[in-house]
Chain A
């Protein structure tokens, strides 16, 4: 498969691992920002092939992990109402709220549907004028343009039975939060390639400079990930700290300006709560005043649902690289996917 096989070439992988081994002399803690990168490291068994000096910590770039419990409870409250068609990206359905997940809403007769694109949710609204179609607009900068586009389309087509439950977050504020913490262990970052395909990486040089950390914009295939690590280790060993772009086939410094304009036309910067971390100022986007009529929180009156996270949950510490997933004492016991 072109554009895939060349980035999964076993010979290139071996040669990059040899190169990393040949230059690494000290222990380094490197965070891959994106959940997709974490998945790729584990899926290909790449993590176990790295030299022991490199400790990977899995960062906060996973909307499934950082969406706060109360936002999931709000989604469940909306999806449980009659005459609602609740639509979402697939893997959000399995994330437990405080008492159930969206799958169990569906099992009890709720109309909960997986969509690949928020524009499908607008089509569902048009096809079902007697129902309310709601889209769970979660994600980082990667999903923001399409999520924003669904709101623009609904407005342009005058689709009044469509709304969005927004939980849109951004990477750079999370990096600031991690790096400014007294307990920070992260010494270098693999920045999320597709976030940067949208936003570019002009936000990263000041972060690299301020906190003295290398930041390498990195793709998602084994050869990308190893190249990203190689760039980061080279910088760390040389005492450098700059923002670099490994993922040049997809990412430009200024990003996709048309997508950024779409985001800016619908969203404005807001404080966002992150699971296990709490509120990070100006760390996300919410609907701007002009688009408030598409706000599902207001339409279904769920703004006042507030949920306490379990004191056993260590998600926040894991997302900041302070703890490892196997250290969770609640996993498989108090916290399961079968609720």
Chain B
């Protein structure tokens, strides 16, 4: 998520992420539910986030799927505007929310 957020700031664009398209493994999702973490902010080393032209997205995605370790590749969102630095999330239930970076380390919530 940090890569998406940094790109948004560096390029002054609005990015919309589709929560349902995010490739989060069920075990990771379940562990995060139990521990009170948001998978968006859990360290996720060795992953690639690519920004490509919309018309090339399908082709790049197909190529990624064919290589080793690319089986879970997904198109997770798109740039929907220029001039406003913002990351939005289309939530799984059909809502929208802003996604901001954490102000410090992620802490399990008591309430």
Give the interface of A toward B (CB within 8 A): 1, 4, 8-10, 13-14, 34-36, 39, 42-49, 61-64, 89-94, 103, 114, 116, 138-140, 142-143, 222, 337-338
Q: Which residues on B sit within 8 Å (CB–CB) of A92?
A: 110
CB–CB B107/A62 < 8 A: no
CB–CB B93/A45 < 8 A: yes
- Whether A36 contacts B109 in the complex (CB less than 8 A), given A1-B29, A44-B91, A337-B104, comes out as yes
- Whether A64 contacts B110 in the complex (CB less than 8 A), given A1-B26, A1-B29, A1-B30, comes out as yes
Most buried by B among A1, A9, A49, A90: A90
Interface residues of B in 38-87 (CB under 8 A from A): none
Cβ contact of B96, chosen from A45, A91, A143, cutoff 8 A: A45
CB–CB A10/B110 < 8 A: no
A78 to chain B, nearest CB (A): 19
CB–CB A10/B109 < 8 A: no
CB–CB B33/A1 < 8 A: yes
CB–CB A8/B92 < 8 A: yes
CB–CB B110/A143 < 8 A: yes
Most buried by B among A36, A39, A44: A44
Cβ contact of B93, chosen from A10, A36, A116, A140, cutoff 8 A: A10
Q: 5 A–B contact pairs at CB < 8 A?
A: A1-B29, A10-B94, A44-B93, A45-B95, A90-B110
| Interface: B89 (CB within 8 A) | yes
Interface contact tally, CB-CB below 8 A? 83
Q: Which residues on A sit within 8 Å (CB–CB) of B103?
A: 94, 337-338
Q: How far is the CA of A48 from the CA of B29 in the complex (A)?
A: 25
- Whether A49 contacts B95 in the complex (CB less than 8 A), given A1-B33, A103-B104, A337-B104, comes out as yes
Give the interface of B toward A (CB within 8 A): 26, 29-30, 33, 35-36, 89, 91-97, 103-104, 107-111
Q: Which residues on A sit within 8 Å (CB–CB) of B26?
A: 1
Q: How far is the CA of A94 from the CA of B103 in the complex (A)?
A: 10
Cβ contact of B108, chosen from A9, A91, A103, cutoff 8 A: A91
CB–CB A90/B91 < 8 A: no
- Residue in chain A with minimal CB distance to B106: A90
Q: Which residues on A sit within 8 Å (CB–CB) of B111?
A: 34-36, 39, 61-64, 91, 139-140, 142
Q: Which residues on A sit within 8 Å (CB–CB) of B94?
A: 10, 13-14, 45, 49
- Residue in chain A with minimal CB distance to B109: A91
Most buried by A among B33, B89, B107, B111: B111
Q: Which residues on A sit within 8 Å (CB–CB) of B92?
A: 8, 10, 44
A91 to chain B, nearest CB (A): 5
Q: Which residues on A sit within 8 Å (CB–CB) of B29?
A: 1
A309 to chain B, nearest CB (A): 20
Q: Which residues on A sit within 8 Å (CB–CB) of B97?
A: 42-45, 48
Cβ contact of A46, chosen from B89, B95, B107, B110, cutoff 8 A: B95
B30 to chain A, nearest CB (A): 6
CB–CB A91/B107 < 8 A: yes
Q: Which residues on B sit within 8 Å (CB–CB) of A93?
A: 107
Q: How far is the CA of A89 from the CA of B107 in the complex (A)?
A: 9
Q: How far is the CA of A338 from the CA of B110 in the complex (A)?
A: 21
B5 to chain A, nearest CB (A): 17
- Residue in chain A with minimal CB distance to B88: A45
- Residue in chain B with minimal CB distance to A143: B110
Q: How far is the CA of A44 from the CA of B26 in the complex (A)?
A: 19
Cβ contact of A114, chosen from B93, B95, B96, B107, cutoff 8 A: B107
Q: How far is the CA of A286 from the CA of B109 in the complex (A)?
A: 23
Q: How far is the CA of A13 from the CA of B107 in the complex (A)?
A: 29
Q: How far is the CA of A21 from the CA of B27 in the complex (A)?
A: 37
- Whether A13 contacts B110 in the complex (CB less than 8 A), given A1-B26, A1-B33, A337-B104, comes out as no
